[in-house]
Amino acid sequence: MAHIIINGIVSHRDTKPYIQIMTEQGVISQLSMADARNIAMNIMQMCARTEADAMIWKFFAKADFPESAGAALMKDFRDFRSELDAEAIETAETDPDA
């Protein structure tokens, strides 16, 4: 299994900060701070969602409920999360009433 190495650099070319993602073979990607934060948040979000899915699966298996019932509930949760993700984010800059 390859190890992933995360490194922060300041570019000599433009003096901006970047995050590098590497393996022992070299740099895979170089990201802006915004891109790096977005990826980090996506990973954290996916960790939480996958843990919730696993919890549903384990609960249904432990209670001897049919697998199809656990799968149906998991799908309902995923659909619900998708609806929440689609909601617009309101900020002071975008809220006309603020």
pLDDT at position 98, please? Answer: 55
Phi and psi, residue 28, nearest 5°: -90, -45
pLDDT at position 96, please? Answer: 61
Q: What residue ranges do the domains of the chain occupy?
A: 1-31, 34-87
Angle in degrees, 0-180, between the axes of helices 33-62 and 67-86, rounded to the nearest 10: 150
pLDDT at position 90, please? Answer: 79
What is the C-alpha separation between 42 and 28, in angstroms, rounded? 18
Spans of the chain below 50 pLDDT:
none
